[in-house]
Amino acid sequence: MEFFPLFLRLEGERCLIIGGGQVAARKAELLLKANAQVVIVAPEVGPDIAALEAEHSVQILHRSFVDEDLDGCRIVIAATADGELNHHVAVTAGERNILINVVDDPKACSFIMPAILDRSPIVAAISSGGTSPLLARALRARLESLIPTSYGRLARLAGDFRDTVKARLPSGLARRHFWEQVLEGSIAELVHGGREAEAREQLQQAIEQPTDTPTGEVYLVGAGPGDPDLLTFRALRLMQKADVVLHDRLVSPAVLELVRRDAERIYVGKARACHALRQQEINTLLVKLAREGKRALRLKGGDPFIFGRGGEEIETLAENGIPFQVVPGITAASGCSAYAGIPLTHRNHAQSCVFVTGHLKDGNVNLAWERLVARDQTLVFYMSLVGLPIIARKLVEYGLPEDTPAALIEQGTTPRQRVLEGTLTTLPEIAEQAEVHAPTLLIVGGVVKLRERLHWFEGADRNPT
């Protein structure tokens, strides 16, 4: 290890930066985050430094560096384009035992700046020892996606209760178990979900009455339309944490692949008209699993609150006092439209966009057709494959032109995505000929035509999966 990692307290400490360019400005911004007293010396400063002066209590000395500038400094950063000056600063600072960093010259440095992941008070620093700062930044980006911003809040909460827990549970082992349950369980999830006051209340209760039985909980998670890249960070984290997962046909195999390997998998069906488990049974099963102390993941295609019956599932959970959280997902309309090159709204073609269910009831689609045929509006029909001919006919009957563009997107965002394009008159026939497989989404409106203008065609490598 050429450089030893440490975390340095810089609050109120004089930190000198020599140089007035962009690099100097970036370093100054970082030091300001640690509440350092930043002094910049440079005969001329660029716009980034000038902006800092306006916003922060940064002292800027508009002149050349003199050795006395080092007086009282904790650290110095030489960030000028003048190699000789940088060298002189390094030597002088070294003689005085002041920590010195020379930008882009690791050999002249007594310390180097890492790539920083800031979830204060949790901070991770990554260094490549000066060999490849870009690689260190790439690794930081990976960590960014793994560690939610809420970890900082969780650490603060733990810090606030640390002494109280210590007094209440003198045994080190008991304390460890207690904190494991808090930091991995439902209290932590409350913090991650932004419900900190509730988390504090529950933690207080848990301290007063510690129990050994973990409380189960339910995660109602939107899994997006198919491409696993469209999952949210939170969805992925909960998928890795669950003990048991309930999934249905809409959740793609590629997404299911990312659920914790040893989690129990329960298929709850829900193909059209062939429900493996009825909705009420799913609701009850979720309650039962949570009561057994399990972390139950209910994975829903798209977004749980858009034609997903998520509302009904959480109603049962709420009635039974089961802790739960809902994680939004990319709904089919967003995913399919983006991957098919059809913007859902457009200044010239669509000022509104309506999501509609095209589900058949008694062989018919009953909708407020007069409102759907409004001008310059995009219509997105979910569950509309069987009803397509009726929908197309009704829209024309209620006033939409026969040549209104329409597209049917089959298995959107997956490697099997197909887009069938036509008009309200031609699309039902085109779909019939094409042997379409569910799930499909129907988009109606002028925006469908934009696909051509955007030179979108099947197989274009815009969204490699």
The reply to whether omega before 464 is within 30° of 0 (cis) is no
Q: Is 307 left (phi over 0), alpha (psi -120 to 50) or beta?
A: left
308 is an interface residue for ligand SAH by CB under 6 A = yes
The least CB distance from residue 370 to ligand SAH, in Å, is: 23
Catalytic pick among 248, 294, 300, 394 = 248
Give the interface segment with ligand SAH, choosing from 187-195, 286-294, 387-395, 438-446 (CB under 6 A): 438-446
The least CB distance from residue 278 to ligand SAH, in Å, is: 16
Give the interface segment with ligand SAH, choosing from 63-71, 88-96, 421-429, 433-441 (CB under 6 A): 433-441
Q: Do the beta carbons of residue 48 and residue 134 sit within 8 Å?
A: no
Pick one of 383, 424, 444, 447: the residue that binds ligand SAH (CB under 6 A): 383
The least CB distance from residue 460 to ligand SAH, in Å, is: 18
Residue written as token pair 């603060």: 156
The least CB distance from residue 409 to ligand SAH, in Å, is: 5
Q: Has 248 been annotated as catalytic?
A: yes
Relative to beta strand 244-247, strand 352-357 is unpaired
Q: Which residue is nearest to ligand SAH (CB)?
A: 302
For ligand SAH, the closer CB: 128 or 440: 440
Pick one of 19, 114, 216, 301: the residue that binds ligand SAH (CB under 6 A): 301
283 is an interface residue for ligand SAH by CB under 6 A = no
CA distances from 352 to 43, 280, 343, 355, 399 (A): 55, 35, 12, 10, 17
337 is an interface residue for ligand SAH by CB under 6 A = no
298 is an interface residue for ligand SAH by CB under 6 A = no
The least CB distance from residue 358 to ligand SAH, in Å, is: 8
The least CB distance from residue 394 to ligand SAH, in Å, is: 17
Q: Has 118 been annotated as catalytic?
A: no
Catalytic pick among 69, 227, 270, 300 = 270
300 is an interface residue for ligand SAH by CB under 6 A = yes
The least CB distance from residue 234 to ligand SAH, in Å, is: 16
Considering only residues 207 through 236, tell me which ones interact with ligand SAH, judged by CB under 6 A: 225-226
Pick one of 231, 365, 406, 409: the residue that binds ligand SAH (CB under 6 A): 409
Site string for ligand SAH, 238-277 (x = CB under 6 A): ------------x---------------------------
Cβ contacts of 68 within 8 Å, gap of 6 or more = none
List of residues contacting ligand SAH (CB under 6 A): 225-226, 250, 300-303, 306-308, 331-332, 336, 382-383, 409, 411-413, 439-441
Tell me the catalytic residues.
Answer: 248, 270
